Amino acid sequence: MGIVRILGLMLIVAGTVFLATAYRATDSFVERATQKVTGRYSDRTQRDLAIGGAGVVGGVLLLALGGGRRRR
């Protein structure tokens, strides 16, 4: 397994952790109150959701496309 694929796996794991913590944060009392008043999540929660999603997508792309050149 090449370094690019290992990096892809690490990105998937880190992105999943960000998504899980951000998703749990959306259910908190303060976050629900903020959403009722403003109609959207707080900036920090939105940022964590975006970072998590980008990490998972980037990791999947690295796994799928990375390390295409092999030694013989």
Q: What tens digit of pLDDT does each residue of 7-63 get?
A: 999 999 999 999 999 999 888 898 888 888 988 888 888 999 999 999 999 999 999
**The predicted structure's pLDDT at residue 40:** 87
> What Rg value do the Cα atoms of the chain yield, rounded?
16
Hey, what amino acid is at 33? A
In a domain? residue 54 = yes
Q: Helix, strand, or coil here: 22?
A: helix
Left (φ > 0), alpha (ψ -120 to 50) or beta: where does 21 sit? alpha
pLDDT of residue 72: 53
Residue 39 pLDDT: 86
15 occurs within a structural domain: yes
Mean pLDDT to the nearest integer, 3-7: 90
In this structure, is residue 71 part of a structural domain? no
Print the domain residue range for 21: 3-65
| 72 domain residue, yes or no | no
> Number of structural domains, the chain?
1
Q: Return the pLDDT at 53.
A: 95
In a domain, 70, yes or no: no
Longest dimension (CA), the chain: 61
- pTM given for the model: 0.80
